[in-house]
Amino acid sequence: VFAAPAWGENVTDVQRIIDVDVHHQFSTAAAISEYMPEGIPYQYYSSGAGIPHPHGAFRHDVKPPSGGVPGSNPVHVGIDHLDRHGIERAVLMPGSLLGLCGLPDIDVAAALARATNDWTMTEWLPVDERFLGAILIAPRDPEQAVEEIRRLGDQPRFVQVTSNTLPCLMGDPSLEPIFAACEEVGLPFTLHLGSDYGVTQSAWPVGSPQSFCEYHAGVVLQAPYHLISLITQGVFVKHPGLKVVFNEFGVAWLPFVMWRLDMEYRAARDELPWLERMPSEYIRDHVRFTSQPLEEPDNPSDLASMLSLIGGEDLLLFSSDYPHWDADNPKYALRGFSDEAKHKIFFDNARKLFDLDARLVRAGVAGAAV
Amino acid sequence: LTSSQEGAADGPEVIDADLWVEQADYASLAPYLSRAWREYLNLGGVTNVAVNGERHGLPRSMFWSPGPAIAALTGQPDAPIEVAAYLDRHNIGAAVLNSGAALGVSSLANPRFAIEVARAANDWLRAEWLDRDERFRGSIVVPARDAELAAAEVRRLGDDHRFVQIQLAYPTARLGERQFDPLYEAASEHGLPVQLLAGAGYAGANRGVAGVGHPATRAEYEVDLGLACQPHVMSMLASRTLERHPSLHLVATGFGISWIPAFIWSAERALPSGGATSNFATHVRVTMSGASISERIGELLSLIPDAEEQLLYGSGDQRDEDVDPLAVADALPSAWRGGVMRGNAASVLLRPATVGS
């Protein structure tokens, strides 16, 4: 077991880092089968988007020496990623089932989500105290998703509930029980990037992209639609304790959405009588966005300048997306942001969002000094 | 290998218009892909096939699951010998082999990549199958999203008489759209029917066969497919595609057959110019593969004049060695059997050998 270093106040001037998006992977497709119940066949089908990644989805330099796909060996992830970059805590996001929401059979999908969470709990969290978990759910059956949130909601090492893509817009009433359960157990709901797998709606109703570049540049544009739906449908009025994270969708579109939502709301607020505040205020209080893949204008400080117009330093969480091909190295990410903004984005925003000071103590992984 | 009639049952030889054999995949196609595309696919290197598995496999429908005889052939180096023996056993004189490649090709979003896979699949079929037994026939697999590229591939191979049709798996646009005209022109030049193959609607970049969402079970999927041919055929009838390409034939495969009478009645009533019945009879052929054959199928199809001339025998994707593949003939009215089991396919699909092919 890798024992976590002491949590608590920073005693050095080294930037403290929480990485909210590290993908842990099944070493083989069969790795999850032992966690599946009898009678539900192991099925792992993903029809994908028909767009292969030109060089593979993973970095080629992070394969574990023991073999298997990158991100499949917990000890190696600790050494290769957390040690290397001085990352104090990392949220493990199941990377082998990015197509889970697209599985047609909702019972198989729900069973795979449970199995994945048990696998995280059994094979990952005990290995390294720096690891935190995310409760994977299969959202096409909200009832089973709620059961899973409640089953694990009081496990302090699980810091959020997550799904890769959704079967409908985020403000759709069918997701209501899932948000209610997240609020009940006090965990943020994180929507991770993913689309066009299996039976999920395509992010491109006007026609499929034809190259990976086209796909990857445009796939983030589903996030504004989800965010607009989430705000206008009043999800945060119904669930004042709920937090939502958009993971891996970029952020440069955010000022546009906040300004435009406020503008439209001013013109047509009687259409949305349930909203009590300006749309952008709900976003600031309830929604966070992960950094990777951060847009890269020619002058890195231009992005920081633009985000400062909306108070972006309070809304971002650092994520690496390790071990994917486009993973961000914290040494080079967030160039152009001030030291104060970096401290918030690398560390303090996630610390507050996940209530880590209390949670790590409850979990017994706060390190010796606390 | 040569055709052998020894031990075969009596009677005229059967033509199987849809015999599914070993299913092509990147691994089998790798020798036929260019080096650049092999590198693009990372073929031959360390793979991560278990994770988000579409990368190293041709996209497949989530619901498609081949019958036991087809699954058993996959990866078998002597698969052509086994299939030849199968033809011997059942007195099948010619078989149009279905490598499944069209399903993957139509679900690849990038047309330049799709045409490369189609070209490799066609070369693979020619070298590894058609050259091995004179009874084997093939389809020219073409991408569904770029008709100019598809037409070029048809012209590359169209002089080889062993390719008997053009195979297009479930496209994302209706077949009466003008975008398909270049393909139909190439088809007409070579006298090749276009086969519309069911089954890729839920693969890769394709978005299903209905606007109301996706099926959750294989049962829903199978029944949906029975409806999925009709918009394409109706679009061809309504857009006058068949008047622009008067020698074109469409072969519908995997959609079943019981939809035909209801479709023709609706189309005849809906089209102000009429002609649905005769255009259907002239231009459309439907394989028996994927059909639920009840003993009353003859009664149903007799409601349509000359329906028996439009049916082609095809064993389909659920073939099982333990089930007599020709038992379907027993459910047909006896007067239909010669046409359905052989004659209809012989007249629409088979082409005379050309010098040098």
Is pLDDT above 90 for A205? no
Contact A29 B107 (CB under 8 A): no
Name the residue with higher pLDDT: B58 or B127.
Answer: B127
What are B329-349's pLDDT values in tens digits?
988 889 999 999 999 999 999
Mean pLDDT across B97-126: 93
pLDDT of residue A60: 81
**Mean pLDDT value across residues A110-135:** 97
Contact assessment for residue B48 and residue B55, using Cβ atoms and an 8 Å cutoff? yes
Position B49 confidence tier, pLDDT thresholds 50, 70, 90 = very low
Could B203 and A106 be called an inter-chain contact, meaning their C-beta atoms sit closer than 8 Å?
no
Residue B317: is its pLDDT beyond 80?
A: yes
Asked whether the predicted pLDDT for residue A185 surpasses 60, the reply is: yes
Omega of the bond leading into A323 within 30 degrees of 0 (cis): yes
* Average pLDDT value for residue range A352-368: 92
Question: Does B48 have pLDDT greater than 50?
Answer: no
- DSSP per-residue letters across B169-212: E--SS-TTSGGGHHHHHHHHHHTPPEEEESS-TTSTT---S-TT
Between the CA of residue B233 and those of A117, A257, B155, B281, B306, what are the distances in Å? 48, 44, 24, 12, 18
Give me the pLDDT at residue A327, please.
93
Closest chain A C-alpha to B171 CA, distance in angstroms: 12
With a cut of 90, say whether residue B109 has pLDDT above it. no
Q: What is the pLDDT of residue A267?
A: 94
Q: Tokens in use for A20?
A: 């909210």
Q: Among residues A30, A18, A168, A190, which one has the least CA distance to residue A96? A: A30
Q: Pick from B177, B186, B196, B110: which is nearest to B154 by CA? A: B186
At residue B40, the pLDDT reads 75
Q: Are B210 and B224 in contact (CB under 8 A)?
A: yes
pLDDT band at A180 (very low <50, low <70, confident <90, very high): very high
Which whole-number Å values give the CA distances from B129 to A29, A42, A130, B22, B106, in the listed order? 32, 34, 56, 10, 22
Nearest CA in chain A to B204: A50
Tracing tokens 């650092």 back to the chain, one arrives at A318
What is the maximum alpha-carbon separation in chain B? Answer: 60
Is B52 close to A44, i.e. CB distance below 8 A?
Answer: no
Quote the pLDDT of residue A288.
Answer: 98
Contact B50 A96 (CB under 8 A): yes
Orientation angle between helical segments B218-228 and B230-238, nearest 10 degrees: 10
A43 part of contact set with chain B, CB < 8 Å: no
pLDDT (mean) for B300-312: 88
What value does the mean pLDDT of chain A take? 91
- How many Å apart are CA B89 and CA A61, to the nearest integer? 54
Provide the pLDDT for residue B9.
40
Query: Is the model's pLDDT at B47 over the cut of 70?
Result: no
**Side-chain half-sphere of A274: how many Cα atoms within 13 Å?**
11
Q: What is the mean predicted confidence (pLDDT) over A205-213? A: 80
Å between B353 CA and nearest CA of chain A:
37
pLDDT at A44: 55
pLDDT at B138: 98
- Looking at the predicted structure, is the pLDDT value of residue B264 above 80? yes
**Cβ neighbours of residue A2 closer than 8 Å, sequence gap 6 or more:** A75, A78, A127, A128, A129, A130
Whole-angstrom CA distances from A231 to A222, A226, A242 are: 15, 9, 12
- The beta strands (E) that lie in B152-308 are given as 163-169, 194-197, 250-253, 284-287
User: Does A112 have pLDDT greater than 70?
Assistant: yes
Q: Is the pLDDT of residue A360 over 80?
A: yes
- The pLDDT tens digits for A242-257 are 999 999 999 999 999 9
Question: Are B50 and A28 in contact (CB < 8 Å)?
Answer: yes
Largest CA distance in chain A: 61
Which is higher by pLDDT, B29 or B130?
Answer: B130
Nearest to B109 among A26, A96, A210 (CB): A210
Question: Is B322 in a helix, a strand, or coil?
Answer: coil
Q: Could you give phi then psi for residue B255, rounded to 5 degrees?
A: -100, 0
Nearest C-alpha in A relative to B111: A210
pLDDT value at residue A283: 98
Cross-chain Cβ contact A199/B54 below 8 Å: no
Q: Does B203 touch chain A if contact means CB atoms closer than 8 Å? A: yes
Asked whether residue B304 carries a pLDDT value surpassing 60, the answer given is yes
- H or E element at residue B94: strand B92-98
C-alpha closest to that of B281 among B263, B256, B254: B263
pLDDT at residue A157 is higher than 70: yes
The per-residue pLDDT for B357 is 42
Q: Of A52-61, B163-172, B266-275, B342-351, which gets the smallest average pLDDT? A: A52-61
The pLDDT, as a whole number, for residue B55 is 47
Of A69, A103, A208, the CB nearest to B51: A69
Per the CB < 8 A criterion, the answer to whether B230 and B264 are in contact is: no
Percent of all residues in chain B with a pLDDT value above 70, rounded to a whole number: 91
**Chain A residues with CB inside 8 Å of B60's CB?**
45, 47
Confidence at residue A7, expressed as pLDDT on a 0 to 100 scale: 86
pLDDT score of A49 more than 70: no
Residues B197-223 have pLDDT tens digits of 998 888 878 878 887 878 888 888 888
- H or E segment and range at residue A77: helix A74-77
Q: State whether B50 and A29 contact (CB < 8 Å).
A: yes
- Mean of pLDDT values over A244-273: 96
Q: Which one has a higher pLDDT value, A185 or B58?
A: A185
Confidence of residue A370 (pLDDT cuts 50, 70, 90): very low
Across A302-313, average pLDDT = 95
Q: Is some CB atom of chain A closer than 8 A to the CB atom of B36?
A: no
- Model pLDDT for residues B128-176, shown as the tens digit of each residue: 999 999 999 999 999 988 999 999 999 999 999 999 999 999 888 999 9
Task: Give the pLDDT of residue B8.
Answer: 36
Percent above pLDDT 90 for chain B: 59
Which chain B residues touch A54 with a CB distance below 8 Å?
40
Question: What integer is the mean pLDDT of B77-96?
Answer: 96
Residue-wise DSSP of B21-47: -SPP-HHHHGGGS-HHHHHHTTTTS--
A359 to chain B, minimum CA–CA distance in Å? 32
Burial group, residue B36, by CB count within 10 angstroms (0-12, 13-18, 19+): exposed
Tell me: pLDDT of A183 over 60: yes
- Residue A353 zone, left/alpha/beta (φ > 0; ψ -120 to 50; rest): alpha
